[in-house]
Amino acid sequence: MTDPELPTPRGELSDAVISALRFATPVPALSRQTREADPYGDDLQLALYLLYELHYRGFAGVADEYEWDPGLLGLRRTLERRFTEALRNDVTVRTGAEQALSALLVEPVGHDATSVSHHLQRDGELWQLREYAALRSLYHLKEADPHAWVIPRLRGRAKAGMVAIEYDEFGAGRADEIHARLFADLMADLGLATRYGHYLEAAPAEALAIVNLMSLLGLHRALRGALVGHFAAVEVTSSPASRRLAAALRRTGAGPAAQRFYDEHVEADAVHEQVVRRDVVGGLLASEPELEPDVAFGVRATGFLEDRLSACLLDAWRHHRSALRVPLTELTEPTAEGDKSHA
């Protein structure tokens, strides 16, 4: 297994985190930098992403003990508050959880000009699909891991439903069927490197924020309702979007492994949608009805950040330019035979 390399800093906050991890130096006081940072910007989102990754695979040359370093945890909490406050200010919750989820099922009449999957299905080019896969790899190569943290915080019907869905996500007992492995096969079909975290340098802040939201909600028991809302939003929207992406891959001539990942999600997530609404959300609210505003917030925050990423990608692609911070040609390496670091 090859651990990810530390990336290039994008500002004072991410530079402080990288220096602390690389050189074992204390984290300096960064109250001004945190206060002045854009909560959705590259510097804060990269710093937060790096701190969260210590709870996943870590980084090459960084000792495992840094996962619980008090200075880094203190900085993470400060950055989390800045991110969370921004989301609370920007995301309005006017409905209950079920209404928020039902709104996600309303498909637009005709082509949705704000939807990445609609664009890729109808007009997308292979290079755009490759960029999309590279960015999504930051989550899909650890698919379902952030959501697993909520399992000990649920009980009864909600826990049983969550575990049933996660069991499918982790391959139902078969290593070659783990969804992270299937996504790595998709990447290989598209000529992308499959190593975990390989495309971090390329990812804009909008892509990092989506992954950071999952980690934020998963790591905090107080946010378990929002994590369930986030998870439900992902499962409810996954099947129709996956159908469009599978069609885009077929139209552009991608290989069978690339198509299979999304074909699998068309079927699996259509079933998961029912389980998550009936058992996970329904079970949670039956036992803890006071969490309904948090569930609705998780649904809406997910949509808010996904919309930001969609706008970023579509603006770039419609102007015939890359949406990545670093071109794929500078990052893609041949996939090593037998590399299982993604799974």
pLDDT computed for residue 268 by the predictor: 73
Euclidean distance between CA atoms 208 and 49, whole angstroms: 7
- Closest Cα partner for 83 from 214, 196, 216? 216
- Closest Cα partner for 138 from 28, 45, 73? 45
Provide the pLDDT confidence category of residue 338 given band limits of 50, 70 and 90. Answer: very low
Higher pLDDT, 83 or 113: 83
For residues 12-23, average pLDDT:
96
The SS3 of residue 7 is coil
Euclidean distance between CA atoms 76 and 92, whole angstroms: 25
- Closest Cα partner for 342 from 141, 76, 94, 61? 141
Q: Which of 72-81, 99-108, 331-340 has the highest mean pLDDT?
A: 72-81
pLDDT computed for residue 332 by the predictor: 62
Amino acid, single-letter form, for residue 118: H
- Closest Cα partner for 121 from 249, 267, 238? 249
Which residues make Cβ contacts (< 8 Å) with residue 202, sequence separation at least 6? 134, 135, 324, 325, 326, 327, 328, 331
For residues 325-335, average pLDDT:
77
- Of 18-32, 120-134, 257-271, which range is least confident? 257-271
Condensed to tens digits (0 to 9), the pLDDT of residues 186-202 reads 999 999 999 999 999 99
Give this prediction's pTM. Answer: 0.94
Condensed to tens digits (0 to 9), the pLDDT of residues 200-213 reads 999 999 999 999 99
Euclidean distance between CA atoms 197 and 137, whole angstroms: 7
Provide the pLDDT confidence category of residue 343 given band limits of 50, 70 and 90. Answer: low
Euclidean distance between CA atoms 281 and 154, whole angstroms: 11
Provide the pLDDT confidence category of residue 95 given band limits of 50, 70 and 90. Answer: confident
Say if residues 215 and 52 touch (Cβ distance below 8 Å): yes
Condensed to tens digits (0 to 9), the pLDDT of residues 65-75 reads 999 999 999 99
* Length of the chain as a residue count: 343
Taking 60 as the threshold, does the pLDDT of residue 1 lie above it? no
Provide the pLDDT confidence category of residue 273 given band limits of 50, 70 and 90. Answer: confident
- Rounded to the nearest integer, the mean pLDDT of the chain is 92
pLDDT computed for residue 86 by the predictor: 98
**Quick one: tokens of 51?**
């701190």
pLDDT computed for residue 337 by the predictor: 40
The CATH fold of domain 95-330? Heme Oxygenase; Chain A (1.20.910)
Euclidean distance between CA atoms 220 and 248, whole angstroms: 37
Euclidean distance between CA atoms 254 and 252, whole angstroms: 6
Taking 50 as the threshold, does the pLDDT of residue 228 lie above it? yes
For residues 22-42, average pLDDT:
93
Domain boundaries, given as residue ranges, for the chain: 12-89, 95-330
Say if residues 303 and 104 touch (Cβ distance below 8 Å): yes
Taking 90 as the threshold, does the pLDDT of residue 267 lie above it? no
Amino acid, single-letter form, for residue 317: W
Residue in the block written with tokens 């049933």: 164
For residues 117-141, average pLDDT:
97
For residues 173-193, average pLDDT:
96
Q: Please count the CA atoms within 13 angstroms of the CA of 172 that sit on its side-chain side.
A: 4
